[in-house]
Structure 1
Amino acid sequence: MKEITYEPVLRAMARLKELSADPETRRMAEERENFLRMHEADSKQGVHGDHDQKKEK
């Protein structure tokens, strides 16, 4: 693999390593990923909650 030398990419990679080392941040990212995955599956099946529809009066 080619060595990365572009400074913005190196900074971003360092920040990702910091975040992934923090258990609480990793847990929150996993929860967000699971929510997005479930929401996408629901959307494909046509399942919508009240929060997705405008309430008529």
Structure 2
Amino acid sequence: MKLPPQHIDEGPKGILKDLEALGVIQFLAGERIQMPDVYRIAFTLGRRGGVKPLR
């Protein structure tokens, strides 16, 4: 049986809560979100500022 996310009825903020509980994201000051590059690249999400990764 497949269960829906626990906080899905709260909308996008609820999904963010579920992602934080899974350890995929971390909330930072000023409504910023920290996501490891492994997830960001896998989900094809771009960077929105911050420190650029080393090459």
- TM-score by length of structure 2 reads 0.30
The structure with the greater share of residues assigned to helix is: 1
Give the number of the structure with larger relative contact order, counting CA–CA contacts within 8 Å between residues 6 or more apart.
Answer: 2
Structure (1 or 2) with the larger CA radius of gyration: 1
- TM-score by length of structure 1 reads 0.29
The structure with the greater share of residues assigned to strand is: 2
